[in-house]
Structure formats: C-alpha cells, structure tokens
Amino acid sequence: MQIGESPADLSSFQMLWDSLNRAVLALRTFKQGPVGFTGIIFRAKHFCPFAGTQIRGANAFIPWGNYNLPAADIPSFQAHAELITTMLHPSLELACSRLADAMTRSNPRDSILDASIGLEAILLTTTGDEEKYKGENRYRFALNYSSLFEGKESRHASFYEARNLYDLRSTIAHGGDIASEKARKILALIKQHGDKASDKACEMLRLVIHRFLPQGSRPPYVSPDYWPKLYFQMT
C-alpha cells in the first residue's frame, strides 16, 4: 500500500490502523495469549536514496509469550471475528475493549480491574429504573454470572467465584493492599480455579462475552426481566 501525506492517504492509513486494531481485538477476545502490534512500518516501493523506513503509530504494550491458533480453531475464530466487526451494544463493546486492555497489563492488579469493569458492563447493565438495586451490586454480580451456567453445582461454584472476584476488585478499587490478609484469602479462593487471579478474571469475562456476542447489537440482558427469568430458567 502506498501512503503519502495527502488527506486521502492519511485516511487510508487510518483505515489500515483501525482494521489492525480490530483484528487484534478479535484475537484477544477469542482466547488467552499475548498478541498485538507495535506500529506500521512503511518503506519506499521503489529504490530511493533519500527514503528511509517510517514507523507510525504506537500500539499497547504486548507481554512476552506465545499466542497459538491451531488450524482446527480457524473456522471458529473467523466466525468470532465477523461478530466483533459488527455493530455492538455499548456495554458489549466496553466489555471487549476492557478484556483486550486486561491482556496487556504488566500489573495483575490492573488486569483484574479491567476484567471486572468489563464483567460489570454486562452483568450490571442498568435498564429502566434499576437505581434501587445499586446497593446490591455485589450480590447481583455473582448471581447473574452464576445463572449463565447449567447445573446446581456449577452455578454454586460460579456464584462464589464471581463474588470473590468482586470483593477483590473492590479492595483494589478502594486503594486496598492486595498483600493484605483479606486480599490474600480472596486471591487464594480465586486461584483454586487457575494459576493467576488475573488470568481467571479474563477467562470469566471472555466466557460472558462469547455468550452474548452473537446478539451483539441487541443482547438479551438489556431487557429488564432477562436476569430474573434466567434465575428461574425461564429463558
């Protein structure tokens, strides 16, 4: 692609930049693993003694590691990427962007906060006059998350996973020390289901995103009675 400094060329660059960012978003929301790009490199198409390499843009930090996409997963990823590029409800868009950000954080505390905010965007979406439930966020967060699972045991375990994550998120958000005795107990409970609390938080958010992405522009949870009906398996 030839890109100069004219408005049309700059527009082409922006389109390319947006497309690459969208591709990275699709990869990060599809599965766990470090993936991204640090910039776009431009070189002269033909020999030019005065033309040097140009690097434009500054993408987010990419942690060290590998991102593996087996051939068997390609059809599923293509379907996922197609959904990501459609018009998404603002809450789902926020959840996806927060998950993408969480995967680039060097500090696990920041990753947990990002993932928790993404989960709240979906699990605690307010519809109509729901301000009266504002003080029950911890309970609703856990209950809504657990209702997405099948079977009593899975729901029971998921309820406590979500509640522990919300408690940890609150400790961090309010300036609490994650090395405190209370935070260590919460982390220990979360780590029972994964190597790192931050990875577990991202895994939980990714699961919820995948659940609602097919209805991207109008997810069912925006309906005022969605969660109550789900509690009683009426949906």
Which pLDDT does position 125 carry in this prediction?
86
DSSP string, 84-123: HTS---HHHHHHHHHHHHHTT-SSHHHHHHHHHHHHHHHH
Structure tokens that stand for 155 in this block: 């729901």
Nearest to 96 by CA among 221, 216, 235, 233: 216
Angle at 143 between CA 139 and CA 149, to 5 degrees: 160
Which pLDDT does position 17 carry in this prediction?
83
CA–CA distance, 176 with 112 (Å, rounded to integer): 13
CA–CA distance, 187 with 179 (Å, rounded to integer): 10
In the chain, what is the straight-line distance between the N-terminal and C-terminal CA atoms, in Å? 49
CA–CA distance, 217 with 214 (Å, rounded to integer): 9
Which pLDDT does position 108 carry in this prediction?
84
Domain limits of the chain? Answer: 1-85, 87-235
Q: Is the pLDDT of residue 176 over 70?
A: no
Structure tokens that stand for 86 in this block: 């459609």
Q: Are 227 and 144 in contact (CB under 8 A)?
A: yes
Average pLDDT (141-156) is: 95
Average pLDDT (177-194) is: 65
Does this model's pTM top 0.95? My answer is: no
Q: What is the mean pLDDT of the chain?
A: 83
Q: Is the pLDDT of residue 145 over 70?
A: yes
Percent of the chain with pLDDT over 90: 52
Average pLDDT (24-39) is: 92
Per-residue confidence band for 191, with pLDDT thresholds at 50, 70 and 90:
low
